[in-house]
Structure 1
């Protein structure tokens, strides 16, 4: 009985080793794995946006800024990443920006349909090559998307 168990165990070890060797010889390309963004709960006030993990841009500052810093680090290192940025107008309307980086380009979605003065035409999409910095006339520095397919891109976030 011991001999049978030992033989079975030896066969399993050899098969496992062979399978591992074969896996190392093959190059495997993994698809871009992105998790979906948390559901947007209307009216999507700043507290809800912060709790959903959004980077929240208010006229008084930025909440969850660490999430933006992590996204920027991943883009710099060419690692897949995603972030949702919710900016609020002076009137308090949310404008939602979703950025998904696949290691080479940023897929950008812009949704201002929840803003009183926003569009009712749905979400706008664009593909951009990277993120750069721009200085405003007032001297403030902003991150902006660069190399976008569409000429005008409404995304910017203040540098902290």
Structure 2
């Protein structure tokens, strides 16, 4: 009987440990929340309905959510935003940014982009947000003072 109970406990522990972890985040009121579940195949319309800031070749949707995130970071208030950028081929690249009042934790996921790096999900920690100007004269918001190389930019 003891062996059965021990085996059952081990199996439950293994199954519980293999469940996907949902990233807990902090909303602007300082309350822990999660990002909405990503609906597949995560086309621009679905991303927009999920509340993502959607960046396409021809513009941005839900830009007000990005501006709110910027304002909260400038006031050192905890905030979060998910930005889904679409490549020329239409593949989604997802960035989840969580600001705790001090640093920005960013999770980058290109696993849905057929032509992506194939890294899947990676994380980075950055201290702020700045702007840069491209050679073509366009201005972009970028993360600054990052632990790893910064690969996030969004049109201003």
- Aligned equivalent of 1:28: none
Segments of 5+ residues of structure 2 without an aligned counterpart are: 1-29
Q: CA RMSD in A?
A: 1.0
2:152 maps to: 155
Say whether the 8 Å CA contact 1:108–1:126 is kept in structure 2.
yes
Contact 1:86 1:96 in 2 (8 A): yes
Structure 1 moving runs of 4+ over 4 Å:
none
Residue matched to 2:100: 102
Larger radius of gyration: 1
Match of 1:129?
127
After TM superposition, the score normalised by the length of structure 1 is 0.77
Residues 34 and 82, structure 1, Cα contact 8 Å, conserved in 2 = no
Structure with higher strand content: 2
- 1:35 Cα offset (Å): 1.0
Q: What residue in structure 2 maps to residue 82 of structure 1?
A: 80
- 1:59 corresponds in structure 2 to 57
User: Between Structure 1 and Structure 2, how many residues are aligned?
Assistant: 127
Long gaps (5+) in structure 1 = 1-31
Cα pair 2:126 2:147 within 8 Å, conserved: yes
Offset of residue 120 of structure 1: 3.5
Distance in 1 between residues matched to 2:90 and 2:124, nearest whole Å: 25
Structure 1 or 2: larger helix share? 1
